[in-house]
Amino acid sequence: MIRALTLLICLCAAPMARAHPHVFVDVGLSFETDAEGRLVAVEVQWSYDDLFSLLVLSDRGLDMDGDMILTEAERAALIGFDLVDWPPDFEGALFLYQGDAKLALAAPEALSLELRQGRIVTRHRRPLKTPAPLTALDVQPYDPSYYAALTLREMPGMPAGCTGEILRPDTEAADAKLQKLGGLNNEGLFEEVQVGIYYADTLVVTCGSS
C-alpha cells in the first residue's frame, strides 16, 4: 500500500516535511471464520488522513467540484488504488502471528471505497493462504518503512469465544532507538531499516482454547 504510493506523495506533496511518517491511517479490522471456527480472512479498513486524501483526489482529477462527494464513476475509478503495484517483498502492512509462526496471507481483494468527512476510507480482504485454528493470535498493522503511521483506534469485533487487547508501542523508546540509528529526518535510514515495527500497535487475541 504505502510504499506503492511513495512516488505519488513525492510528486504532489513536495512542500511536506521530510520527517517520517508522511501519511496517517486509522485501521479497522474484522475477522472471518469458517464453519469449523478457523480463521480464514481478515477484513481491513484504512481511513486516510484528510491531507493525503485531498492529495490523492487532486492528483487523479477527482471531485473537481470540491463537494467531497464521489460519483459512482469516480468511486469505481479509485477503488483499489492503494492495492496496486505492490513490490514483491511488500506484505501489505498487516502481520499475523501464532507464537513465533507468521501466518501467510494471500493477495488483497478490494471491497469498497468512500469519502467520510473528507477522508478516503477503503476496505479490503486478506485471505489466509491456509486456514488457522483460533487459539491465540497477535495482529500488527504497520508499514515496515514507517512512511505511514497506522493506528488501531478502536477494538475490533472479536470472533466468538475470543477477547482482544490493544498494546500500544513505547513511542519514546522507539524515537530514542531511531535517533541512535540516525534520526527520523534521515531518509536513507528508512530505505535501509524496517523501523515501522517499533511504532506498531499489537492486537492480542486470546480464545477459549488458548
Read off the pLDDT of residues 146-160 as tens digits, 9 standing for 90 and up. Answer: 889 999 999 999 998
User: What single-letter DSSP state applies at residue 93?
Assistant: S
Tell me how many helices (H) and strands (E) the chain has.
5, 10
Q: Do β-strands 109-116 and 202-207 pair in parallel, antiparallel, or remain unpaired?
A: unpaired
pTM of the model: 0.87
Q: Which residues contact 48 (CB under 8 A, 6 or more apart)?
A: 23, 24, 25, 56, 119, 120, 121, 122
User: Residue 145 in contact with residue 175, Cβ under 8 Å?
Assistant: no
Which cell numbers in the block locate residue 117? 468527512
Q: How many residues does the chain have?
A: 210
Side-chain-facing half-sphere of 77: CA atoms under 13 Å = 12
- Average of pLDDT values for 12-32? 74
Please count the other Cβ atoms lying within 10 Å of the Cβ belonging to residue 24: 15
92, pLDDT greater than 90: no
15, pLDDT greater than 50: no
162, pLDDT greater than 50: yes
